[in-house]
Structure 1
């Protein structure tokens, strides 16, 4: 399995689909299905039963998964591709547009 280039906490921009051009922070990453949960993107309606955690129940709006190929990492306000390189003996991510190390 290839490594995910986008991690939890990254800011991403949606490049295709119904939420095109929206930006948000990555909430969760699912490496198995190659999907992400992004804040405010792909909102779905879920009907919930009353439970101990949610006494009222009812209709809840929450983020749905979006494929990782449909988003781009945002670096300095611009979307960019991500690459990997060795920085000494450590593998780091870098923005391909500028060459800056991300983490």
Structure 2
């Protein structure tokens, strides 16, 4: 399995889907399914049975995973979506922005 261009904590731009054009922070990356959960985006309604925490039950809004091919990392310098490259800096492989050449944390 190859490395993914997105990590937890990245600010990403959504290229496709109902939330196209929006940005958000990655909460979780599901590597084996190549998906990411982005904070506040791709919200779906889940029906919950009554339980100890929620005695009434009901409907709750939760974030659904988005395929990483539909996400681009936001450039730290320009704030626009960019592709990600890899480069050796001081003997370490780091992610860089293809637009500005800036290192992505």
Report the TM-score when normalising by structure 1: 0.93
Structure 1: distance between partners of 2:54 and 2:24: 26
Please report how far the alpha carbon of residue 49 of structure 1 lies from its aligned counterpart in structure 2 after TM superposition: 1.0
Tell me what 1:50 maps to: 50
Please report how far the alpha carbon of residue 38 of structure 1 lies from its aligned counterpart in structure 2 after TM superposition: 0.6
Counterpart secondary structure, 2:69? helix
* Structure 2 unmatched ranges of 5 or more: none
Please report how far the alpha carbon of residue 71 of structure 1 lies from its aligned counterpart in structure 2 after TM superposition: 0.8
* Structure 1 unmatched ranges of 5 or more: none
Alignment of 1:61-100 (within 5 A): 61-75=61-75, 76-100=78-102
Q: How many correspondences in the alignment?
A: 103
Structure 2: distance between partners of 1:52 and 1:68: 35
Structure 2: distance between partners of 1:53 and 1:33: 30
Tell me what 2:29 maps to: 29
Spell out, residue by residue over 1:41-65, the C-alpha distance to the aligned partner (whole angstroms, 9 max, x if none): 1110000012223333210001101
Regions of 4+ moved over 6 Å = none
Structure 2: distance between partners of 1:87 and 1:30: 27
Structure 2: distance between partners of 1:55 and 1:6: 38
